[in-house]
Each structure stands twice: as structure tokens, then as C-alpha cells.
A and B are shown apart, each in its own frame.
Chain A
Amino acid sequence: MIVHFEPASEEGIASVVRSAAAERVTLAIVGGGTRSGLGNPVRADRTLSTRRLSGIVTHNPAEMTMSALAGTPLAEIEAALAANGQMLSFEPMDHRPIFGTAGEPTIGGVFAANVSGPRRYVAGAARDSLLGVRFVNGRGELIKAGGRVMKNVTGLDLVKLMAGSYGTLGILTEVTFKVLPIPPAAATVVISGLNDAEAAAVMAEAMAQPVEVSGAAHLPESVRGRFIDGALPAGAATVLRLEGVPESVAMRAEKLVAALSRFGPGSQLDAGQTKMLWAEIRNVKPYADGTARPLWRVSVAPSAGHQLVAALRLQAGVDAFYDWQGGLVWLRMEAESEAELVRRYVRALGGGHATLVRADGEAHARIPAFEPQAAAVAQLSERVRASFDPARIFNPGRLAAA
């Protein structure tokens, strides 16, 4: 039987870790468990949950920062921020729809997996908002890094290292992050009927305009109807989000439509539709289909995204849509995961990061979820990991396939 720990304090966690390290007992670290499918399967002797380490520690709206215990539900954080007209600028994706998981995502899980959304390519990822952490390392020591100020270059930036380390370096106990005001107005410009290559060019053109596009996605005809209850105009939709004060959003939208009208018919979505659309893009709605069909999340240069899809289409059944100006490709395979093919083309197109986000149990166990690293980088990463968790007790297997 798997023993499950739920310490209610930092010291409780440290104490469990110290005994585990002494006895070489491995621990699976869990928060809300809604993203447990991310990464490679973990094989551990026991589980340790941060669930009881919950609550907002400080929220200073005037300083645009918040500190919260790692197990605090994301919903609680977002509600507290919204009550002050604030938000997490990196729009963390909700993985429940694509995984079919239940439960509440935690703020610790968000940062441990560096979960980000559409605004990431202009406002940064979760890691860019994270100012400070407290965590328990593999020796059972409580470590703090960073702080609560916006600029901090005091010593090595362990904060960045902890973001996206999937619980393999330490157990986050408290996170401090910066927040931004919710823009008072938002609109989306839609250019319709473009093919993937044309859309990439249009998105690049939009990003070159001084209009501060805060979301740039392309939704081909195969997925277009799945968004905002089918309300997008006919044809593939290239969508560009603008946010800010109302007068400014309206002016920038006009400017953008004028600049792009030579590429295809332009229209606009209002604030309500904009909110819904970008939440659905963030949560990968078209592929939240209740299946375990292979789903890839590929990060490449924006110019390479559509080339990757075009190359794959010649050899495999694949459906795709694009975020981050075309540099984030969500690929759903019709049958096999085609890992070898996907990774070969990513390399051929200048490199990037292909993550197998979802697959059936057999494929999930067999195919490394993350992009294999160059040998020198992998060795270096292993030494870094050993400096945090010498006994290798945290989340064994999560990052590197067993």
C-alpha cells in the first residue's frame, strides 16, 4: 500500500523528507493532482501532498505582489486578485479539460510546472512572474530564494530553476509572485480565411506594429467551430488580442484591421467573446475531447510552426492549431504519437521543445514526454539535480524517462 503524507507545515514536510532521505524512500510530490499526467510517469514509494499547506500569506495590492502557501487552490488566488482588479499575467492553462481530471489546481503546481498561457509570448511565463520561493530540498532543509521585490540579482537565481522543475529539486512550500492589473478593456481582431503559412506572416506583421498585441493565435478551419460556440466568422480564424484602456483598444483595433485588411476580411470580437475565446485557446478546447489520443505541445520559432505541421501532414494524420504567434503548436495525432517523426522535424526546423502531453498508458510509459537534451546539458542538469536532492528521492522519473 502506498503511504500518503499530508503535512500541515513546512517543518512537517522537512521532517518527512529527512526520514525519507535517510531511508532512501522515494516520494511522489503532488499538489491538486490535476496535471499529474504531465511529464513522465513517476514511480515512487510514497506520496507527499502539499494540500494542507494552504492559504494566502500576504496580498499587497498596491505593490502588485502576493505570497501564498504552495497548496493554495488557484481558484482562491484568482478570486482574491480579481476582487482587487488584478490577475496573473501569464494566464496559467487549466489542464483538467484535456486530461479529464477533477480537483483543484494549486498555485504550487502552477509554478512547479511553469504553466503559462497565450500572453506568455509578450508578458512572460509563470517563471517570469515568480519573485521568490520557499522550498524543502532533498536533504530536508528549508531554503528560501528570491524575495518579494521586482528586481533582485542577489546571488544565483534559484527561483527560475525551481519554476518548471516538476518537483524534482525541492518541494515548494510558499511562492511569491507579481501580479498585474486586469486591463479594463479587451477586443480581438479576426482575420478570416488564411492558410497556416499566410497566418504566420500576418501574425508576424501584427507583432511588428506598435499596437501591443497580447495574444496571437491561428485557428484553422478544422478547429474554428469549436471555439466560442461556433461564433467565429467562416473560414480559418487568425485572432489577435488587444488589451488596455477602452479608447486605446478601439483605436488600436482599427489600426490593426487597416494594416492587415490586404490579407483577408477583418472583423472584431467584443470583450465577452474575447475573454471566452482566449480561455478556450489557453485550455486547448478543441482537443479536450475526452479521449487519450496523443496530444503534443510544441514550442518552436514562430516561423517554424506551420512548416512543422505541413511536413507532418504528409506522413501522419494530424490536426493542429497555433498560439504564440505560431510558435506554440498544439498537435493532436489521429492514431500513433509519431514521436520519432515529430522530434526529427522539430530538429530539422531549427530545434525547439516537443512535449508529449497526453497519450495512452502504453505510449506514455514508452515515449519520453520531454524533448531529449544534448548529452552535455543532460549531464549538467543531473549534477544540478544532485545538488538539491542527492539521494534522488523526489519524483523519480518525472523529467527523464526511466
Chain B
Amino acid sequence: MPETIGFLKPRQAVLDRRREIIADLAELLPEGCLISDERGLKPFETDAFLAYRRLPLAVVLPETTDQVSAVLKYCSRYGIPVVPRGAGTSLSGGAIPQEDAIVVGLSKMSRILDVDLFNRTATVEAGVTNLNISEAVSAEGFFYAPDPSSQLACTIGGNIGMNSGGAHCLKYGVTTNNLLGVKMVLFDGTVIELGGKGLDAAGYDLLGLVCGSEGQLGIVTEATVRLIAKPEGARPVLFGFASSEAAGSCVADIIGSGIIPVAIEFMDRPAIEICEAFAHAGYPLDVEALLIVEVEGSEAEMEAMLRGIIEIARRHGVITVKESQSALEAALIWKGRKSAFGATGRVADYICMDGTVPLSQLSHVLRRTGEIVASYGLRVANVFHAGDGNMHPLILYNINDPKDAARAEAAGNDILKLCVDAGGCLTGEHGVGIEKRDLMRHQYSKNDLDQQMAVRAAFDPQWLLNPSKVFPLEGRPAA
């Protein structure tokens, strides 16, 4: 397809030194930690934002923080761009490399270093997967709360890079609310530690700044995260509605009533059909919109909360209320939801938007989204975190039809502008990456963006860390 999103022009001086750079990197790393042949590089050319790909100059897979430091120091000295990579599950192109870049993959740094149940913390290397942390402490009755749908694959380093969310963030917060400390390598090779097992740290909240910085400020190699005691029980309940508007206003009323469930997930009819065909989760097929509301606690607490929620749903004309009757049913309900993107991929190519809007705007934005996508002659499936207004319209298209792809991208841009204009933002949990980079000026003024870029430059004055991402290519400060 024709590319509408540009990358920085590769630095010829770097490309010309390719052999030398590869030889130097080989010196810095143990055997088996450097990939430079085209076949080996191929898997690293893109991430889950499949429409764009670039073959990197080389990939390094360090085993220690010191090795990461040595590589960054080298790249900083010779002016070589670096693109950090976890599992490559970014939906916004955050891990897509460029021709003159070294990809620093953290997949070999996958040890759990310390589980401290007294202080309820886990310290892990950046390449540990999200789900691994919860699994490591599950038998002891704890879990790590943020749960992106890709949690089986995605790494904690990537979660920090994108400040990832998930379905259960409504109650427990996103990555930044559950991150206590990091060890990270600055671009000049300096290793710093921010935060720790205590809650407060001196000085500016650099930890908060680093979380969600999309690999622009340094490379996180270790993280200390907060663990939470597992609730006694949890129960997802399905609520079917005759219209998306009814479901949307029901969500706003649940939150407005003061009840905060663990999760409120939304699916419209196309999404329900796709997910049900894949997971056989028992979703009702005769409704236009479905809410999955999960409550947790003791049996009595769940009953009390559900009573309140059902009453509100009735006021919004709920058609179907279906409580999961067993752990198996509950697991299927979540399997259907969490495999929504994958299941959609079986029926069509799609791009996934991630705008967040105030709850009062949910119905309006859903309706306008449908109209926008239809105006481009495309279809949309909506499956998202309704409780916090984080929308995920999946625009379905055919990646092999250039016109179709261009229309999908244009529709996506219109939807994101709609979210911003409704008082929301471009991205709630997937990050800006390359995908939303050129829309940043729609959300921020020149001064706003200049300030962000000045902060970025305080970390990486050469502007070489993940350089094609987040900020529009024009108007950057001179390196």
C-alpha cells in the first residue's frame, strides 16, 4: 500500500558504516546476541501495526543491563538510531525500526529477580511477559493488575513504554499506577535507578515521565511492580442492549452512581458475532450491543453490586442479563473479549483506534464513528473498555487493496479527531507510535508540543532513541 506516514530519512553515514558497526557490536556482546543477516532481521521489521515495515541495520539481544549500556554508549558515540523492542505487540508501530537503526530487543532479559510478598512487589527484567508476573505469584494469592489483551506475549518493558492498560484498569489503574521503580539505561550508557520498594522518591517524578514515553527517553531493563491480593471471587455478567446508545448511557450511569466494577467492556453487534464465532463464549447474538461487567469480592459483595448494576441496566432497557455460572463460563467470556483483535484478524484486516472520550460523549462518539466509517464505504467493529471511555473501533479493510487501505487510514484519522474534539485524547493505552504521530498537533498546541520535545531532548539531545515516533517530524528542535 502507499505509505502516508513518513519515517526519518536514513542517515547515509550510518548505512555506509554498516559492516563496521556490526563488527563493533559483535565485540560488545556475547555469541548469539547479534542478528545482522536479512533472514534473521525479517521478523523484526514490523510489530502488530502491520501496514508499515522497515528492515533494521542490525538487532541486538543483550542479556544484561551492562550490555544494553555498552550498546547505547556505542550508538550514542557514533550517532546511530536505536529502537527498543519488547515482544513487538505494539498496535501503533512503536517497535517498527528504520533502515539505519539498531533494534535493542529485551527478549533475553526475562528473569524474575525478586518476589517480595511481605512488601507486595516483584522485581523483574524488562523482557518478562505481563502474564508471567501474575503466574509467578498466583499460587500465593497475588496478581499484577494491568492486563493488556496481549498479556500472554507482551513484556513488562513494553508495558512501561506504552503505559499499557487493559480491561481491569477501571479499578486498579494502568501501568503507571502499578509501577514502583525501574532500572534504565540512558542513551549515553548511564544506568540510573528510579523509585524502589518504597512509595515516594525524591525529586521530580521521572518514573512517571518514563512510563509511557515510548522508548524515547532510555531503555528500561528492570522494573519493580506492585502486587495485589487476589479477590475472593470475580464474576463477569453479560448485559445485552437493543442499541449502542442504550449501552453507552448505561455505562455512564453505572459509573455516575458511584459503583466502580472491576471492568466494563463493550462490544457492538459485529464484534459480538466475530468473537462468538471464535470463542463460543455464550454471547447473545440477538442484541446490538453487549456489556461485560465484572464485579469481584465475596459472594455477598458481588450480589450487592450486581443488584445495583442490574437495576441501572433495566432503566436503560437491557434485553438480556446473563451471569456466568462457573469459572469455566467466566473464563470463556474473557477469552472471547481478549481474543477480539485476533478473531477480527480472521475475518478481515483491520486497524484499531484507541481514542479515549469522556463518558458523557460515549454514545455520541459511537454514533459518529459508525457514520464516519460508513462514509468511507468500510465496516467497523467496536470492542473496548467502556468504563474509562477508552474506545477501540476496529476499521475493517483489505490490506491488499491500496485504495481500501488509504480509506481505512483516513477514516481512522477522522475518528481520532472526533475523540479529541469530544474532549478526549488520541490514545488511551496503545501509544502514539508512528500511527498517531502526525495527529499530535490536533491535540496539542505548538507550545504544548515544544515543551514535551524540550523534555525529551533533556534525555536524548541527539534525538536518536526511537526517533521516528511520537512527535511530528517537522518542527523538532535542532539536535
Tell me which residues across on chain A come within 8 A of B190, comparing CB atoms.
Answer: 376
Known: A125-B199, A156-B209. A85 touches B258 (CB 8 A): yes
Q: What's the Cα separation between A114 and B385 when bound, in Å?
A: 28
What range describes how many residues of A lie at the interface? 35 or more
Minimal beta-carbon separation of B160 from chain A (angstroms): 11
Q: What's the Cα separation between A43 and B429 when bound, in Å?
A: 42
Question: Are the CB atoms of B423 and A149 closer together than 8 Å?
Answer: yes
Question: Are the CB atoms of B204 and A164 closer together than 8 Å?
Answer: yes
Question: Are the CB atoms of A151 and B165 closer together than 8 Å?
Answer: yes
What residue in chain A is nearest B357 (Cβ atoms)? A149
From 380 to 430 in chain B, residues with beta carbon under 8 angstroms from any chain A beta carbon are 385, 388-390, 423-430
Residue from the list B163, B200, B436 in contact with A353, Cβ < 8 A: B200
B246 interface hit (Cβ, 8 Å): no
A61 interface hit (Cβ, 8 Å): yes
Q: What's the Cα separation between A338 and B429 when bound, in Å?
A: 45
Question: Are the CB atoms of A151 and B356 closer together than 8 Å?
Answer: yes
Q: What's the Cα separation between A248 and B388 when bound, in Å?
A: 25
Q: What's the Cα separation between A33 and B267 when bound, in Å?
A: 50
Tell me which of B4-12, B36-44, B282-290, B437-445 binds A.
B437-445
Q: What's the Cα separation between A299 and B424 when bound, in Å?
A: 35
A230 interface hit (Cβ, 8 Å): no
B375 interface hit (Cβ, 8 Å): no
For B231-253 the 0/1 string (1 means CB < 8 A from A) is 11000000000000000000011
Question: Are the CB atoms of A251 and B300 closer together than 8 Å?
Answer: yes
Q: What's the Cα separation between A167 and B236 when bound, in Å?
A: 45
Residue from the list B119, B213, B429, B459 in contact with A301, Cβ < 8 A: B119
Question: Are the CB atoms of B200 and A63 closer together than 8 Å?
Answer: no
Tell me which residues across on chain B come within 8 A of A373, comparing CB atoms.
Answer: 202-203
- Among A144, A153, A247, A353, chain B packs the most CB atoms within 10 A around the CB of A153
Tell me which residues across on chain A come within 8 A of B131, comparing CB atoms.
Answer: none
Question: Are the CB atoms of B425 and A160 closer together than 8 Å?
Answer: no
What residue in chain B is nearest A209 (Cβ atoms)? B229
Residue from the list B118, B121, B163, B209 in contact with A153, Cβ < 8 A: B163
Q: What's the Cα separation between A128 and B201 when bound, in Å?
A: 14
A97 interface hit (Cβ, 8 Å): no
Tell me which residues across on chain B come within 8 A of A157, comparing CB atoms.
Answer: 163, 176, 208-209, 211-213
What residue in chain B is nearest A181 (Cβ atoms)? B258
Question: Are the CB atoms of A299 and B200 closer together than 8 Å?
Answer: yes
B14 interface hit (Cβ, 8 Å): no
B87 interface hit (Cβ, 8 Å): no
A3 interface hit (Cβ, 8 Å): no
What residue in chain A is nearest B389 (Cβ atoms)? A149
Question: Are the CB atoms of A161 and B205 closer together than 8 Å?
Answer: yes
Tell me which of A101-109, A233-241, A381-389 binds B.
A381-389
Minimal beta-carbon separation of B13 from chain A (angstroms): 27
From 185 to 222 in chain A, residues with beta carbon under 8 angstroms from any chain B beta carbon are 201, 204, 207-210, 212
Tell me which residues across on chain A come within 8 A of B431, comparing CB atoms.
Answer: 153
Tell me which residues across on chain A come within 8 A of B197, comparing CB atoms.
Answer: 300-302, 304, 327, 350
Q: What's the Cα separation between A300 and B206 when bound, in Å?
A: 18
Q: What's the Cα separation between A207 and B192 when bound, in Å?
A: 30
Minimal beta-carbon separation of A58 from chain B (angstroms): 10
Tell me which residues across on chain B come within 8 A of A377, comparing CB atoms.
Answer: 192-194, 203, 206
B142 interface hit (Cβ, 8 Å): yes
Minimal beta-carbon separation of A376 from chain B (angstroms): 5
Residue from the list B177, B206, B216, B451 in contact with A128, Cβ < 8 A: B177
A55 interface hit (Cβ, 8 Å): no
A391 interface hit (Cβ, 8 Å): no
B277 interface hit (Cβ, 8 Å): no
Question: Are the CB atoms of A384 and B458 closer together than 8 Å?
Answer: yes
Q: What's the Cα separation between A299 and B191 when bound, in Å?
A: 23
Question: Are the CB atoms of A149 and B199 closer together than 8 Å?
Answer: no
B358 interface hit (Cβ, 8 Å): yes
Q: What's the Cα separation between A188 and B24 when bound, in Å?
A: 63
Minimal beta-carbon separation of A186 from chain B (angstroms): 15
Minimal beta-carbon separation of A158 from chain B (angstroms): 6
A154 interface hit (Cβ, 8 Å): yes
Minimal beta-carbon separation of B143 from chain A (angstroms): 11
Known: A141-B451, A144-B448, A151-B389. A299 touches B229 (CB 8 A): no
A225 interface hit (Cβ, 8 Å): no
Interface size on B, residues (CB 8 A): 96
What residue in chain A is nearest B170 (Cβ atoms)? A150
Question: Are the CB atoms of B208 and A352 closer together than 8 Å?
Answer: no
Question: Are the CB atoms of A155 and B256 closer together than 8 Å?
Answer: no
For B253-268 the 0/1 string (1 means CB < 8 A from A) is 1011011100000000
B454 interface hit (Cβ, 8 Å): yes
Question: Are the CB atoms of B455 and A387 closer together than 8 Å?
Answer: yes
What residue in chain B is nearest A302 (Cβ atoms)? B119
From 351 to 391 in chain A, residues with beta carbon under 8 angstroms from any chain B beta carbon are 351-353, 355, 370-374, 376-378, 380-381, 383-388
Tell me which residues across on chain B come within 8 A of A141, comparing CB atoms.
Answer: 447, 450-451
Question: Are the CB atoms of B444 and A155 closer together than 8 Å?
Answer: yes
Q: What's the Cα separation between A164 and B209 when bound, in Å?
A: 12
Question: Are the CB atoms of A376 and B186 closer together than 8 Å?
Answer: yes
Question: Are the CB atoms of B192 and A374 closer together than 8 Å?
Answer: yes
From 137 to 183 in chain A, residues with beta carbon under 8 angstroms from any chain B beta carbon are 137, 141-145, 147-161, 163-165, 169, 180-181
Question: Are the CB atoms of B203 and A153 closer together than 8 Å?
Answer: no
Q: What's the Cα separation between A210 and B186 when bound, in Å?
A: 39
Tell me which residues across on chain B come within 8 A of A64, comparing CB atoms.
Answer: 255-256
- Among A127, A156, A201, A353, chain B packs the most CB atoms within 10 A around the CB of A156
A124 interface hit (Cβ, 8 Å): yes
Tell me which residues across on chain B come within 8 A of A155, comparing CB atoms.
Answer: 432, 440, 443-444, 449, 452, 470-471
Minimal beta-carbon separation of B373 from chain A (angstroms): 22
Minimal beta-carbon separation of A181 from chain B (angstroms): 3
- Among A164, A301, A352, chain B packs the most CB atoms within 10 A around the CB of A301
Residue from the list A63, A164, A300 in contact with B198, Cβ < 8 A: A300
Q: What's the Cα separation between A378 and B202 when bound, in Å?
A: 10
Question: Are the CB atoms of B304 and A245 closer together than 8 Å?
Answer: yes
Minimal beta-carbon separation of A153 from chain B (angstroms): 5
Residues of A within 8 A of B (CB): 60-65, 85-86, 114, 120-121, 124-125, 127-128, 137, 141-145, 147-161, 163-165, 169, 180-181, 201, 204, 207-210, 212, 244-245, 247-248, 251-252, 299-304, 324, 327-328, 350-353, 355, 370-374, 376-378, 380-381, 383-388, 399
**Nearest 6 interchain pairs by C-beta:** A160-B208, A62-B256, A181-B258, A301-B197, A151-B428, A299-B200
Please name 24 pairs of A and B residues whose Cβ atoms are closer than 8 Å in the assembled complex, sorted by A. Answer: A60-B358, A62-B253, A85-B258, A121-B199, A128-B176, A149-B424, A151-B174, A152-B428, A153-B429, A153-B431, A161-B206, A204-B119, A208-B229, A210-B232, A247-B300, A301-B197, A372-B202, A376-B191, A377-B206, A380-B186, A381-B204, A384-B204, A384-B206, A388-B455
